[in-house]
Amino acid sequence: MRKAQLHNDVILRADNLVKDYRIGRYTLRVLHGVTLEVRRGEFLCIVGPSGAGKSTLLHLLGILDTPTEGKVLYRDKDFASLSPSEQAYWRNRLFGFVFQFYHLMPDFTALENVAMPALVGTGLTGWRQARKKARQEALRTLELVKLAERANHRPSQLAGGERQRVAIARALINKPEVLLCDEPTGNLDTDTGKRILELLCNIREQTGCTLAVVTHDEDVAAMGGRIVHLVDGRIVQ
């Protein structure tokens, strides 16, 4: 894997993002014209209180949701101009996602959970060959997060920190350019959370991926290279 090198070039740009949600007859505006640049190879932390719009911003950056106004650009590519299938392709290949609540499939082993993103879009004809390759890559990725010996365990047989490491491995299997993490330590005790953050930092150093972490924890943010504060749906100094 390539060693991380920080660059000044912008890989993602949020341009005047507005996000509204309809609640009955009312409209709730969560983001108020957010503009943000994410640079290749950096460790960016987005911090702020609960309800500030941090997760919404992360979801828009990763094409998990669409803005009411504004746009998200990957280099010069406007995601809004793509078809849903094209957006799904870029979401699967460009981004890795790590969430607070793991979102692992309970009936599948750690190895099978990690392999799933690599099998998306393979089709029935190439599935068997793709499955073998995906399982090999999943085991290699579990080794990266130091969990290969638990490959055949289901999520219910894993501790919280182990489940999060499986989730991180799943996010990494397609070698994403950008790793988007939404409160990755929020469901863990302090010591386990610290180890997960150290793991993410090490992965960034080893792979060269861009790391964007949403958190309300200032101790977590202190490990990042750049901190963006979001309050009431606006970036503040």
Residue 202 belongs to a domain? yes
Alpha-carbon distances, residue 230 vs 20, 70, 71, 85, 99 (angstroms): 16, 17, 18, 31, 19
C-alpha to C-alpha distance for 101 and 182, rounded to whole angstroms: 9
Taking the CA atoms of residue 42, residue 40, residue 29 and residue 54 in that order, the dihedral angle to the nearest 10 degrees is -30
Distance in angstroms (rounded) separating the CA atoms of residues 208 and 5: 6
Instruction: Give the long-range contacts of residues 198-202, CB within 8 A, separation 24 or more.
Output: 199/145, 199/146, 199/165, 199/168, 200/98, 200/168, 201/43
SS3 45: strand
Residue 4, domain member (yes or no)? no
Asked whether residue 5 is domain-assigned, the answer is no
pLDDT at 102: 86
Q: What percent of the chain has pLDDT over 90?
A: 62
Q: What distance in Å separates the CA atoms of residue 131 and residue 118, rounded to the nearest whole number?
A: 8
Count of alpha carbons within 13 angstroms of residue 165, beta-carbon side: 27
Of residues 32, 74, 20, the one with CA closest to residue 233: 32
- Classify residue 14: in a domain, yes or no: yes
Looking at the structure of the chain, the number of domains it has is: 1
Residue at 51: amino acid letter = G
pLDDT tens-digit readout, 128-181: 778 888 899 999 999 999 999 999 999 999 999 999 999 999 999 999 999 999
Would you say residue 4 has pLDDT above 70? no
**Residue 199 placed within a domain:** yes
Domain CATH number, residue 215: 3.40.50.300
Q: Quick one: 84 exposed, middle or buried, by C-beta within 10 A (0-12, 13-18, 19+)? A: exposed
- At 32-45, the pLDDT tens digits run 999 999 999 999 99
Band of pLDDT at residue 220, cut at 50, 70 and 90: confident
DSSP secondary-structure letter at 147?
A: -
Mind listing the pLDDT tens digit for each residue in 31-82?
A: 999 999 999 999 999 999 888 999 999 999 999 999 999 999 998 889 988 8
Pick the more confident residue, 230 or 187.
230
Examine the pLDDT at 2 and tell me if it is beyond 50: no
Please give the residue range of the domain that contains residue 18.
10-236
Between vectors from CA 93 to CA 199 and to CA 61, what angle results, nearest 5°?
Answer: 75
Assess if residue 3 is contained within a domain. Answer: no
Q: Is there a domain that residue 103 lies in? A: yes
At residue 154, the pLDDT reads: 96
Task: Please state, in angstroms and rounded to a whole number, the distance separating the CA atoms of residues 161 and 188.
Answer: 7
Q: Are strands 234-236 and 43-47 parallel, antiparallel or unpaired?
A: unpaired
In this predicted structure, what is the pLDDT of residue 6? Answer: 44
In a domain, 2, yes or no: no
For strand 26-39 and strand 10-23, is the pairing parallel, antiparallel, or unpaired?
A: antiparallel
Which tokens in the block code for residue 205? 């150093």
